[in-house]
Structure 1
Amino acid sequence: MLNRKSEEYYQRPFSRVKSVAMAVPLAQTTLLFRTSLLLSKNALRSFTSCIPPSSSSSSYSSSELHRKQWRQPVASVLEFGGVKIGREDVVRDDPTNNVPDSIFSRLGMQLHRRDQHPIGILKNAIYEYFDTSYSNTFDKFDNLCPIVSVKQNFDDVLVPADHVSRSYNDTYYIDSQTVLRCHTSAHQAELLRKGHTHFLVTGDVYRRDSIDSTHYPVFHQMEGVRVFQPDEWEASGIDATSYAAEDLKKCLEGLARHLFGAVEMRWIDAYFPFTNPSFELEIYFKEKWLEVLGCGVMEQEILKRADRVNNVAWAFGLGLERLAMVLFDIPDIRLFWSNDERFTSQFSKGQLGIKFKPFSKYPPCYKDMSFWINESFTENNLCEIVRGVAGDLAEEVLLIDNFTNKKGMTSHCYRIAYRSMERSLTDEEINELQWNVRDQVQSKLKVVLR
């Protein structure tokens, strides 16, 4: 859902807004990759892990070997049910396509389906609460295809046509009508049309974003929906909207106690395009207020489109990384993607809230880069280039200085922090990364380096 203050979907981990215009105009193309029609008709098909490429017997220099170790393998094929999707169907030389290999490599990894991973442990703890509190009445979906139509991702949940989240700056487009889902709400309308009245949807979601310890272009959300019949609220003596709002708050207060214990809570009025009224739940945890989730009573237009004109419903959404970082004391969002046994061995199935014990923290290396920007420049585009070159070795990209000269030209200076969570980086590696970043920033963003 969209946060009232940040205009973000519900519970983007520690989100902050960037009010930017659409960086690239929507091209009027109707090209779809060869299976998009099948995917749009079968958006709820199960989806399995990526198939890694075959290994190479080539020899590597020392620095090349280091890079081979930290770069994620780029899969060549994905499977959605029995349908094979090639890399060229998702990452293509197309004016409307902005999905890089670094994002394609995350498709199919599904951290939320790993029972010994913090994200999977948290998901299962939430499942336990709903199974216990509602006698297993909530249907659960955690393997729905992340490739969805623009209609599913935006139109079906009433995101305005001019909203910033639709821009190429914020969303990964496969083509002009197909995206990598930005939120699990993309499946809400279709599940309602299929007759589901109580459901939880968990999945990996994708957004172009900043580079720092709490932002990552792939993260995980859980969506919850409950639909009420007229006889459920008519007997209560209160109107349908008030009945659904009261039930929603009672449900989510119980969930917060299940996850965090006996904590102080408060409700904040919010704005989301798909709920009215809308709320955010905050808890007082470790001597500060923490925003836990966004929620509200579903807009009647969504129910009307699903042929449920006589119903009322509530919906909530939460970011699993946001909560897992707090519950497990995980300081850097990149750690969720680590295969280092010093990280993975610390967590066990069913053990919620085990505190992460930091292992050796290797030193960061800072590199500054200044350039004159142009009208089309956005920080998200810069971060995509840095990620494409450095992968998870990019710890932070921070604007440290900017000014406008007498000619009206604006200069930005960014500080890039490179740091591995698993080993020390060599000077040779860092210098090569920085020179590659500089070359690509100049050629792709059309800025003038200083």
Structure 2
Amino acid sequence: MARLPTVAIVGRPNVGKSTLFNRLVGKKLALVDDRPGVTRDRREGDAHLLGLDFRIVDTAGYEDHDAQSLPGRMRLQTEAAVASADVALFLVDARAGVVPLDEEIARWLRGSTTPIVLVANKAEGRAGEQGILESLALGFGDPVQLSAEHGEGVADLFEALLPHLERDETVEDEPEDDDPAAPLKLAIVGRPNAGKSTLVNRILGEDRMITGPEAGITRDSIAIDWEWQGRPVRLIDTAGMRKRAKVQDKLEKLSVADALHAVDFAEVVVLLLDATLGLESQDLRIADRVLEEGRALIIALNKWDVAQDPSSLFNGVKAALGEGLSQVKGVPLITVSAMTGRGIDQLLSAAFETREAWSRRVPTGELNRWFERAIEANPPPAPGGKRIKMRYVTQVKSRPPSFVIFGTRVDQLPASYERYLVNSMRRDLGFGAVPVRLTLRAPKNPFGG
């Protein structure tokens, strides 16, 4: 599959980079706020502009700081994005005019081999005229005058990008989601500072995500396309999720909502725990949310290389999971170290196996044979002396596996018997610990009215 050409958006903080990113991908994927420095990691998406398709990369605001500081590490990510792009959009704020930091960025970009397109954003109305004139001095020619918020000037942007993005290759259609060859959509979730971004970097073999001792560095959910042993993976790093009562800041609320949105679109979710802290109630709440959404779940114990009394810790976490996640028994528990790379192949192998079970569709004959055996081994109760007749079962969908059982008086079936059927399905039909949905339905009584 030929790759799409890549466009990076660069500029100082708060000039509208994420707003333009959202405009081009057609969705509100990047977090947007009035305060500067919201975006920290590179965020990528598929952009469409008047029939032109390309990969767009939103970057952190470029700031001149020490490379070891958080802003400095953010700047390194921006520089890497520009170096790997086919063309970069250099955004300036037409209303604010050119400031010293714009001039500093321009000096850096002039030394880059990547073609640069200057864009004067927030150019609607007459308030931006002076800033547009000032931007000519940056040395990149006439700016594209744009309003990312209102969508003005996109035709001019198309004309500026077209010479850099025209390709002879055709991009093949991606496989359907239920095709085993389709990319595995794998989200990494957990509390702040569990090591999610460090794990993603270790998996990719590069410093793709900004990491550090500060909690809550990641704000957006960042999706990265990658391959493991020749199999495509879409890896999603998410913001840390704290207890709801502790989340007061508007930006953190947006970050947590974005992480939950990423869970909704994942196939397999890895809940990363900090082995030095063990299992906490917030971890169980996150796991419960993942299972409620019908996603396949894997638990990974990170920082295993520095865990104390590992055998006792592993058994304790396993027992707590068995008690706290009673609705799904046997969720895979894997020990990893994002620092050393231990357990990563085992984790990815388990993720593919879990997706296979999550996507499984049971042949009708096999399903009905299981149904007969399950009822024969443990017949349904007869509340009030009236038998509950269970006639047949059908699978209505996969991902997650969902079944409907038809019969008479099934509305009186106790929850314990429903659990028996679901657990029997998991054990006998190869679903393991993935969520299984079961609905009971009685035929309509034609004389009921």
TM norm structure 2? 0.24
Larger Rg: 2
User: Given the two structures, how large is their TM-score scaled by the length of structure 1?
Assistant: 0.24
Task: Name the structure, 1 or 2, with higher relative contact order (CA <8 Å, separation 6+).
Answer: 1
